[in-house]
Amino acid sequence: MQLGHAGRDDLEGDADLAQEFLAPRGGGGQDDGGPVHVDSGVSIGGRAAGIESRSARLVSGLPEAFTLEQCIELSNSTNAMNLHRIACLGFLGWVLGWPAAVGAADRPNILLAIADDWGVHAGAYGTPWVKTPAFDRVASEGILFTQAYTPNAKCAPSRACLLTGRNPWQLKEAANHICYFPAEFKGWGEALAERGWFVGHTQKGWGPGVAKDAAGKPRQMTGRAFNARKATPPTRAIGNSDYAANFIDFLEAAPADRPWCFWYGSLEPHRGYEFGSGVARGGKRLADIDRVPGYWPDDETVRHDILDYAFEVEHFDRHLGRMLEALEQRGLAENTLVMVTSDHGMPFPRVKGNTYNFANRVPFAVRWPRGIARPGRVVEDFISFIDVAPTLIQLAGLSWAETGMAASPGRSLLDIFQSEKSGQVTAARDHVLIGKERTDIGRPQDGGYPTRGLVQGGWLYLRNFEPTRWPAGNPETGYLDCDGGATKTHILAARRENPADPHWALCFGKRPAEELYDLGRDPDCLRNLAAVAELSARRDALASRLFAELKAQGDPRMLGEGDIFDRYPYANESQAGFYERFMRGEAVKAGWVSESDFERTPLP
């Protein structure tokens, strides 16, 4: 079985019957490296029915022997950084009245809309150069989250976290991009289907990669596929899937006596783009862009690239709007939870596949008229993709124990849904963990660029475990950990004229073992403060909290076993061992980058 990058593939067919590998989307768009499998799988997690199992499952690694009295004592500890205190606060929430599982009569249907490579760019977030009326409507009629994060800014591992409720370092092979998904980790889509829900999806579910159960049967991680409807795309680089019509097909197939869950997996705004389409077809102007991040040059090429990306974001949003209309026409809007997000930031240098602010931070809005108190709120709590599974499992009225899902360190968002507060709702939601392993090939022995990070209190701390490696992949093999496109090509060309080009250094150059950024003053993460003596106490405190939580979650990097992630096989055999094969002259292809991305000789 062979598979490549998953962005533009027209993923039709029922994964229960066959895993089909289809041509890339669009006619004339960038080839993403051959046939791809994006598994259709989703799983849901909740809370155990008994107090004892709740305490054991709330945070992976929390000792089962903790009693209620011990948790109360620890929760009153003066050490705010104490990991056990954090775990016990969550445990006490379940015991002392945080939202319980939803009853059968109140269970909402679920529409989860996830874009492919969309950053925090929407009207609701104040972005002037992209129009997102459907997303803005979900936010205004529900809750807009300003600090939502994926633990990993690459497609497959990000979606794995979303489905399982576990961080990537807890998912073995699924920490890596294009992996063989471990059969032991169930997702919420599968759990819901097992409990009688009608579960379906259109286009990209989990992936790219291979997901089979213990018997070798393809898994339906996001349920049955609905991909029959087609429409003429607005550019030659956008796929021809009529996502909204496919959703209507799903609604017509859904039994009236069963709750349903639908995964809208857009292929946009993943690359490639039709250059200049944002202006020529979208009616945009280069001057619409209020600010170009400091790690890219501010010129016409980059601005066109940004607007082309924006045009594809709007394509995703238009189909979302049609889906909202379909719910209203059928009288389903009142009790349907609509959750809209993206797997990670935009497919540009120093964003997708990285661990900086705009890589892991994602758009996130939720609407549920029957279940959200005081809609129109803006919430600043830090939330993570690992919180989605506990939320959906709880909404389904299930305990975590009965799902068969592995323990999750995530926590349900129902306390936020049921609160009437804006701003910071739950004090304990004050940080998120992020990280990465192999987010693509192109380094010797298919090695990754392992990083772990903590975002808290307006600061980002990063620990790079292999700083001698190239973060975007080796230059001589095309910087494969960065998708090809106009901005990438432009920056690489600038370095060839000026080896000291600052944008190349920021996007493609090597990085130190530690990084520290003041996100309030430096949201682009341009000035590394890790070596500033006056900030050493802050740096060390963030590092201490990060490593304590990683140890509690069993991260192999904390146990001296981090090389296991590099040893996990790459699931596309036609591209595995890319570096060694390319360097010895084999014509191995990487269709997600441009031929000009390859440096003629290795760089120092």
Q: Indicate the average pLDDT of the chain.
A: 87
| pLDDT at residue 1 tops 60 | no
CATH number of 104-427: 3.40.720.10
Query: How much is the pLDDT for 104?
Result: 61
CA distances (Å), 500 to each of 155, 298, 497, 509, 563, in order? 32, 17, 9, 11, 33
pLDDT, tens digit, 9 for 90 and up, residues 176-209:
999 999 999 999 999 999 999 999 999 999 999 9
Instruction: Give mean pLDDT, residues 234-257.
Output: 97
Query: How much is the pLDDT for 102?
Result: 62
Q: Whose CA is closest to 494, among 357, 360, 301, 322?
A: 301
Query: How much is the pLDDT for 58?
Result: 32
Query: How much is the pLDDT for 106?
Result: 76
pLDDT, tens digit, 9 for 90 and up, residues 420-469:
999 999 999 999 999 999 999 999 999 999 999 999 999 999 999 999 99
**Sheet with 109-115: strands ordered across:** 224-225, 198-203, 260-265, 109-115, 336-342, 361-367, 143-149, 377-384
Contact call for residues 244 and 326 (beta carbons, < 8 A): yes
This prediction's pTM: 0.86
Instruction: Give mean pLDDT, residues 19-26.
Output: 31
For the chain, how are helix, strand and coil distributed in percent, rounded to 5?
A: 35, 15, 50
d(Cα 247, Cα 555) in Å, to the nearest integer?
Answer: 38
Strand extents, DSSP E, 222-350: 224-225, 260-265, 336-342
Q: What is the DSSP letter of 215?
A: T
Q: Whose CA is closest to 222, among 457, 486, 41, 403?
A: 41
| pLDDT at residue 21 tops 50 | no
Contact call for residues 393 and 154 (beta carbons, < 8 A): no
Work out whether the CA dihedral 441, 443, 447, 449 comes out positive or negative.
negative
pLDDT, tens digit, 9 for 90 and up, residues 301-315:
999 999 999 999 999
pLDDT range class, residue 267, cuts 50, 70, 90: very high
Query: How much is the pLDDT for 101?
Result: 56
| pLDDT at residue 471 tops 90 | yes
Domain extents in the chain: 51-96, 104-427, 433-596
Instruction: Give mean pLDDT, residues 495-509.
Output: 98
